[in-house]
Amino acid sequence: MSFTTPYFTLPKFVYLKPSTLEEALSMLKQYKGKAKVKAGGIMLINLMKERQIVPEYVIDLKNIKELKTINITQRGVEIGSMVTAIELQNSKEIKELCPTLAKAASFMGDRTLQHTVTLGGNISVAMPSTDGLTALMSMDSMLEIKSAEERRFIHSSELVIGLGKNSLKEDEIITKIIVPYNGDVKGTYLKFLNASEVAIATVAVTAHLNKKKFALVVGALAPKPYYFNNESLQWNWEEPVSVNIQRASEIVSKTVEPMSDVVASSEYRKHISKVLTARALKEVFGGE
């Protein structure tokens, strides 16, 4: 998507505005292959203006209340897919229990866009430069996916299958994001931008210090974020933090194979991921 579409008009489509999830899912079933759901609409409307997608039906999820809630349940923190980036940043529960996501949400476009961008829409677009999925993977999040017939759960790392491609079927939507509750949590999200405001690299770290475990995910390098944890980063809790950070950032740098594009070369992205990894780990674990 260019973000500077030459078109000012939308192609013709039928606008549908269900008020329940059941209604939305039954519309998706009825118009399978001809319909697209609209969340915030930021990406969808631009792609339609550019005629990159021309759905006959647009199903607006805006009025479905159950997709807009944040609940603490036995499974963890359950976030409706229509919760916006601003709501994530303002929620007491998200700030306390999902600090990595609260911080990532502050990067989801500018402040005005953040009132509209939804978490479900942000991860469904499957673009390397978006921030939601990298944070969710570091938190080991699950996604609840529904069609009119079925409900299934996938790990957040299974959503993206290619550039702009996700693993959802045409009649399915993401209804909830479930972040498991693992007690005592610390997290951060760092993003490096250049003047074009497109991410060169992002790093999310989520740690559960009481369990001596953490995950580190590097985004914006390739269609799918790179996942690491304390084991793959050979973190030794007996050694000084600085030694661990040095080793971990070397491992990240050796593992990632970033894309080259007009924004940055592969080598530059690799270097930035190494630097961001060290900074993010230092922020979470301290050390010199």
- The residue ranges that bind ligand FAD (CB under 6 A) are 3, 36-44, 81, 107-109, 113, 116-118, 120-122, 124-125, 129-132, 168, 173-174
Which of 118, 277 has the CB closer to ligand FAD?
118
CB of 125 to ligand FAD, least distance (A): 5
Q: Are 32 and 73 in contact (CB under 8 A)?
A: no
Which of 109, 223 has the CB closer to ligand FAD?
109
> Using CA atoms, how far apart are residues 201 and 190, in angstroms rounded to an integer?
8
Q: How far is CA 233 from CA 171, 245, 270, in A?
A: 39, 9, 16
Which of 140, 171 has the CB closer to ligand FAD?
171
Report the Cα 17 to chain-centroid distance in Å. 25
> Using CA atoms, how far apart are residues 189 and 209, in angstroms rounded to an integer?
17
Residue with nearest beta carbon to ligand FAD: 121
CB of 196 to ligand FAD, least distance (A): 10
CB of 271 to ligand FAD, least distance (A): 21
Tokens for 161, please give them. Answer: 């299958």
Which of 116, 255 has the CB closer to ligand FAD?
116
Closest CA to 199 of 218, 227, 179, 171: 218
> Using CA atoms, how far apart are residues 97 and 178, in angstroms rounded to an integer?
12
Which of 46, 266 has the CB closer to ligand FAD?
46
CB of 81 to ligand FAD, least distance (A): 4
Closest CA to 82 of 126, 22, 139, 123: 123
CB of 167 to ligand FAD, least distance (A): 11
